Structure 1
Amino acid sequence: MFDKRLSVLKENFPGLFIGNKSVCFINPRDLTDLDHFNIHNTVVFTDDIRMYSPLSVFGYNCEPEANLDVDISIVLLPKSKELARELVFMGFMTSPEGFVVIDGDKKDGIISIINELEKEICYEVKLSKAHGKIAVFRPANGNLPSNWNANQSNKVNNEFITVPGVFSADHVDPASELLKKYLPNNLKGSGADFGVGWGFLTKYLENLDTVDNIYAIDVSKRALACAAKNCVTSKVQFIWNDVLKWKSPKLLDFIVMNPPFHTHGKIDIALGEKFIISAANNLVKNGSLHMVSNRHLPYENIISKHFKEWKEIGGNNKFKVILAEKPLAVSKKNP
């Protein structure tokens, strides 16, 4: 709903975007978020390859220099409060003499962020629209709260490095932990971790003597940076890509995954199904898929269409672990 709030902002603060002002757009959620901004004077900060690749093709500069100084920074706030504070800090630093625009949905917590900031900074304008808020402030007129800064990190189990905003940033995801218990210790050859996150499963895989190499794939550059710190053997190749579009240079012996099933906060079963199809397309004819999912998600039908054999090998009342073997996608190509 950013576009609706942007329209209201332009009506109430008409001078903000007048002229050829330089803009830094931080954390776009959708390609259409950039529709109203000129390619030639807009740079984009995103860690999501699904935004980075097409926006780069369109002509946007998605690799701005470190010491950027622009007239306006626009920050679309994520659900993670820690990451939201970090992104506002980034906007503050990139527009020291200009303006920072923050936008977000109420369900994602923008009200609390606005209230925290209001203790230190006076807003030029603050508006509500489309179940969210948009506000503007000038960094020159105040300071951020003292505990707001960038590059924060965390350690899970005193072992794994994570950062705000990545999936399961403050604990080991229970579904992934369950899947690890059912992964055989004799997995061998070449494999992949689809949606590696900060590397919990890949860490296990890289320590198996019979595993030769692992492709660790994720759409989030921040998550991959964490995984690269947590998984340090030469077996692992970190790939910033969309699992749904990635093709392995060579068909794989095994794939592990805990596929996502939300898009913009809404349940999206088709997303998990596409992960399963991609896995089938990237496995050798006798390859295996090891996956975990929430018990209520009906993935069995799509698995049956793309694998000759499959079975539930473990689980509990919340999650199920499935082993699927002999992908039909490969069998049909190589009878």
Structure 2
Amino acid sequence: MITYYGWIPTLAGEEVFDSLCSEFVSNSERLPKDLRDAVKDFVRNELGWNVGKVFVISKNLFDLKKSNNLIFIQFNTNWRLEKVAIVEGDFKKLVQENVTTIATANIVFHDKGLVEIVLTSFNRNYKRHNVDQHKVGRQIFRIVRDVYHVHTHHKHQDVLLEPVCANNPDEAKDKLLKQYLKKIVDYHKELKARVDLGFWHYFSIFKYKDAENVILQALGEIIYGESFSEMFHRNYISRFKRAKDSLQALHNRIKAKYYLFSIILALPSVTLLAVKYAALPLIEKYRPLAVDLIYLPLAVFTLLISPLLLLHTLSNSV
């Protein structure tokens, strides 16, 4: 049996586990009676579980074969998730007894959000679908995390902190900490590359918002890393605090560049208006032609640039 560990940043604490489970449970309880009976039979006869507090939903799983799968979850009386089973197929195939169990796992909650995932079975035939035990462990961690964690800094399908294979909780904490420390370096490299691009980079108004999204995700992860270090590795708290300050400084540099971008775009319009009012008195007798020569390029320029300025303004105001 292979054991994986993951950390779920449940900032609200375990006291709200029952309410966090409510969405998963409500989706499970919508099954019609004939399907509920088929689920109970499968749980008893195939999984060998106690039927009490077992729930199932149909879902397309991100890390596995791109098809519908059934997720079986068993909770204990305190709404701690105890067991997970991933089954290939849908409810119709379940009724027909034509489904295949991909993997099962026992789940152990340690203190402060550390979760132990023990793979108790794995259908090795799924190697032909490029599904190995690590992908299964990652997918089961994703299932457990999604029951207890509200996503604020990333999309729900993202696993920003990978589960690790470890022999004990202490080894797992060290490996998870190394992931967070590496993220500090990786985010700084990516953001520095965005900041240091050349002059023509100013003329892509979408880059600022893109860079800002990366910064917000980075800051979110650094906050989680700081929380992780407070719980398990207090000697590293200062590193995450310095990382937050550094990311904020990079954010300020990027904002400064893109404020300058607005000025660069505005300069041609200002120049044309200045030419208009400075030159017209000197060429009064050719006024109709002069007006056309000045206003035509100004109009064309405005039509081309105004939408870009609008998008840029909106991107900076969000």
TM-score for the superposition, normalised by structure 1 = 0.25
Higher relative contact order (CA 8 A, sep 6+): 2
* Structure with greater strand share of residues: 1
TM-score for the superposition, normalised by structure 2 = 0.26
* Structure with greater helix share of residues: 2
